[in-house]
Amino acid sequence: MTHPPQRALADIRIRVQRDLTDYLALQTHYLGEIGSELVPVAEAMNSFLLDGGKRLRPLFAYCGYLAAGGVESEAVIKAVSSLELLQACALIHDDLMDGSDTRRNKPSIHRHFEAMHNDEDLTGSPTSYGSSAAILLGDLALVWSDQMFHTSGISSQALLRSLAIHDEMRIELMAGQFLDIHEQALGSSSVARSLKIARYKSGKYTIERPLHFGASLAIESPQKLTAFMDIYSEFGLPLGEAFQLRDDLLGVFGDPSTTGKPAGDDLREGKRTVLMAMTHDRASQAQESALAKYFGDPDLTNEGVEILQTIITETGAREHMEELIEKLTLTALDALNRDEIEPSAHALLNELAAIAIRRSV
Amino acid sequence: MTHPPQRALADIRIRVQRDLTDYLALQTHYLGEIGSELVPVAEAMNSFLLDGGKRLRPLFAYCGYLAAGGVESEAVIKAVSSLELLQACALIHDDLMDGSDTRRNKPSIHRHFEAMHNDEDLTGSPTSYGSSAAILLGDLALVWSDQMFHTSGISSQALLRSLAIHDEMRIELMAGQFLDIHEQALGSSSVARSLKIARYKSGKYTIERPLHFGASLAIESPQKLTAFMDIYSEFGLPLGEAFQLRDDLLGVFGDPSTTGKPAGDDLREGKRTVLMAMTHDRASQAQESALAKYFGDPDLTNEGVEILQTIITETGAREHMEELIEKLTLTALDALNRDEIEPSAHALLNELAAIAIRRSV
């Protein structure tokens, strides 16, 4: 039996999918008019964007809108759907920077265009062509996201109110991404630094800011909006960190059929996550030697992956992460017990929290 | 003796520089608050953006605003200055895609961060670090450009009017960039295709759309705005093509101290420009063999550069390009002889046209 908030979220997800489909159909036509060479660009974006994803950011934004007193609105659905195009930019550029071959069990965008270069026997380097196409497709997704938001049909007042939060969210995302690549380049790991990256890359960008964005679409009074943003920060920041910690765990222990990435990819890549920083902090000398040997080895075998998984579990880092996720989630949910939150939307935010930390799907 | 329109343009350029400096100072502080690791990011952008550039796009946008009846406004100066940050995104990503080592006689952004990785003895690949930093810095410039525009202090009505043109300009830019990398990957060259790329990458993005953007900031009536946009298209599109053709010529025959790039870089890169398409169309069999041998050779010597320069000149392609630039410019200037154009701003647009096609600086 479907639980009511789950059904409501599924309904929002369907409307988001519809709006993304419609918007991309228009853009595909637009690009095709400029030149047939651009049709593969539009098709790659269609396939990338419409074949998967939990739509977390639109869901948080729309539920944040409803919980702040917003009334059901197709224009607002379109405005929040645009966040998926921003996320597409982040993922396409992220995969290129990480050198990831796959995304959701399909080739990543740079690999897709690299393969196209090979198939069509074009001149020059297939790798460079793939990289260039991924850089431009990410840029295009960022601009499309803006256009979809601006043309959503929300009121001029709502649009003007939400621009500042929208801009700040995107600056924080890029700052968080840079902190992340810088952390990977440092020779050391630190739980404090990893938590800060988690806060910027996920806490703020995935949850807190989409909620703020939703609130700004609903609330006219600046004072009331500020008060609501504070509540959403109390809810969204710890939940966002819990979300990122779960992501760290899935990157090491997750089932490839669910994560869409080969098992152990984060370990091969040597990704400096909070989980790995905690493991280093707790490792014995022997465990530290094994970490130095296997962690970050691009040719790590499945056996090597298992050795690292065992170390991470044996140091207690895995269990500690689970405890931290539990604690952060309780702190987050506690912040929702406020009279200001629209009662009918309370259950939606609760359910979304469960989805974010993967207690539900 | 300084000519009055030159003095007026120099004055606008100073105000653009001031606004970019102030905006970046705020952003540098903002990023520093997030983390000291981000200070080099802000510094790289400061150095990239404030040390050079003719500010063509802000100048066209502001003169387009004045010529459409807009009154002098510091808020509009700030709004049009934001176009330099959009251009920074395009250049940073362009240099990375082209593998260019220098920009304005300094290391390109990816090389700058690659060198920083080496200097600070960070772990991992310096090249990957440089690429990742350039991708993110370009993304950040794109978002900053939006924020600078949105917070410029122009009226809500002007902001709402200009969003659509601003979005379309950026989509056209990315489409033009993709057409360009696709053209490089094709085994053939075509004057028609090269002209289309010139139209999207430069005609529309550098001149027509900034003029439209300026007009939208000045004109309230939709009918009057549409009429003005038509005039600006008649002026901006041919002028933009002339601008791109001049750029092609400078890429082959330009003085490195003026272009900021080593002589012959476009030839080593095998850049498929209108100039090269015309050369191919006119080449004898012997010349075609020499082109096949030298053009696109990354290790091309200065002698090889001279051989190619001679061929391009001898086919008549160079002279034909000069004639085309002349013709396009006359067509453009002719479009300005309209009563609608504010007489006091007429001379500014004339002078800007001369700068764009490098008859002046």
Residue A35 forms contact with B (CB below 8 Å):
yes
Distance, in Å, from the CA atom of B252 to the CA atom of A225, rounded to the nearest integer, reads: 57
Chain B residues touching residue A97 (CB < 8 angstroms): 128, 131-132, 135-136
Fill in the amino acid letter for A76: V
Range B227-233 contact pairs with CB under 8 angstroms and sequence separation of 24 or more? B227/B340, B228/B68, B228/B340, B231/B335, B231/B336, B231/B338, B231/B340, B231/B341, B232/B64, B232/B208, B233/B208
Asked if ipTM goes beyond 0.90, one says yes
* Secondary structure, 3-state, A255-302: CHHHHCCCCCHHHHHCCCCHHHHHHHHHCCHHHHHHHHHHCCCCCCCH
- What is the tens place of the pLDDT at every residue in A207-252? 999 999 999 999 999 999 999 999 999 999 999 999 999 999 998 9
Residues 6+ apart with CB under 8 A from A261: A100, A102, A103, A251, A254
Residue B361's pLDDT band (cuts 50, 70, 90): very low
Min Cα separation A141/chain B (Å): 9
Mean pLDDT of all residues belonging to chain B = 93
Determine the Cα–Cα distance for residues B327 and A179; give it in Å rounded to an integer. 51
Cβ <8 Å between A131 and B89 = no
**Which residues in chain A are closer than 8 Å to B170, comparing Cβ atoms?**
143, 146
- From the CA of A26, how many Å to the nearest CA of chain B? 13
pLDDT at B119 over 90: yes
pLDDT tens digit at each of 361 positions of chain A? 445 899 999 999 999 999 999 999 999 999 999 999 999 999 999 999 998 788 999 999 999 999 999 999 999 999 999 999 999 999 999 999 989 898 888 999 999 999 999 999 998 899 999 999 999 999 999 999 999 999 999 999 999 999 999 999 999 999 999 999 998 898 777 888 888 888 888 889 999 999 999 999 999 999 999 999 999 999 999 999 999 999 999 989 988 877 777 778 889 988 889 999 999 999 999 999 999 999 999 899 999 999 999 999 999 999 999 999 999 999 999 999 999 999 989 999 999 999 999 865 4
CB A87 within 8 A of CB A103: no
CA distance B235 to chain A (A): 21
Tokens at residue B215, please? 């007009």
| pLDDT for residue A359 | 66
pLDDT at residue B114, rounded to an integer: 97
Q: Which residues in chain A touch residue B89, judged by CB atoms under 8 angstroms apart?
A: 139
A102 Cα distance to chain centroid: 16
Residues B250 and B312 sit within 8 Å (Cβ to Cβ) = no
The conformation of residue A102, written as its DSSP 8-state character, comes to E
Token pair belonging to A175: 């700052």
Give pLDDT tens digits for B33-72: 999 999 999 999 999 999 878 899 999 999 999 999 999 9
| Residues B97, A128: C-beta atoms closer than 8 Å | yes
The number of angstroms, rounded, from the C-alpha of B203 to the middle of its chain's C-alpha atoms is 10
Does position B262 have pLDDT exceeding 80, yes or no?
no
Residues of A in contact with B178 (CB under 8 A): 37-38, 41, 133, 136, 140
Contact A179 B34 (CB under 8 A): yes
Strand B106-107 with A102-103, pairing: unpaired
CA A171, distance to chain mean position in Å, is 15
Q: Please give, one letter per residue, the 3-state secondary structure of B193-255.
A: HHHHHHHHHHHHHHHHHHHHHHHHHHCCCHHHHHHHHHHHHHHHHHHHHHHHHHHHHHHHHCC
Which of A202, B55, B19 has its CA nearest to residue B27?
B19
**Residue recorded with tokens 């982040």:** A90
Pairwise CA distance, residues A58 & B174, whole Å: 25
Query: Which pLDDT score is estimated for A170?
Result: 97
- Which domains are seen in chain A, by residue range? 1-52+83-151 (no CATH), 155-361 (1.10.600.10)
- Identify the pLDDT of residue A9: 95
How many CB pairs below 8 A link A and B?
A: 155
Question: Which residues in chain A are contacts of B31 at CB distance < 8 A?
Answer: 175
Q: Report chain A residues whose CB lies below 8 A from the CB of B164.
A: 150-151
Instruction: Provide the pLDDT for residue B221.
Output: 96
The residue among B91, B139, B150, B165 with the most chain A CBs within 10 A of its CB, best to mutate, is: B139
Transcribe B105-147 into DSSP letters. Answer: TEE-HHHHHHHHHHHTT-SS-HHHHHHHHHHHHHHHHHHHHHH
A187 alpha-carbon distance from chain centroid: 26
What are the counts of helices (DSSP H) followed by strands (DSSP E) for chain A? 18, 2
Q: Phi first, then psi: give them for residue B102, nearest 5 degrees.
A: -130, 155
Which range, A179-193, B171-185, B224-238, has the best average confidence (pLDDT)?
Answer: B224-238
Would you call A37 and B182 a contact, using CB atoms and an 8 Å cutoff?
yes
Instruction: State how far the Cα of A32 lies from the Cα of B295, in Å rounded to an integer.
Output: 31
Q: Does A196 touch chain B (CB under 8 A)?
A: yes
- A159 contacts on B by Cβ (under 8 Å): 160
A262: left (phi over 0), alpha (psi -120 to 50) or beta: beta
Distance CA A240, CA B180 (A): 40
CA A335 → CA A17, A63, B321, distances in Å? 30, 15, 67
* Rounded Cα distance, A315 and A312, in Å: 6
Closest-CA residue in chain A for B169? A143
Residue A1 burial (CB count, 10 A): 5
Give the one of B142, B159, B181 whose C-beta lies nearest to A139's C-beta: B142
Taken as a whole, chain A contains a residue count of 361
Nearest by Cα to A324 from A277, A361, A283: A277
> Looking at the partner chain, which of A93, A128, A150 has a beta carbon nearest the beta carbon of B135?
A93
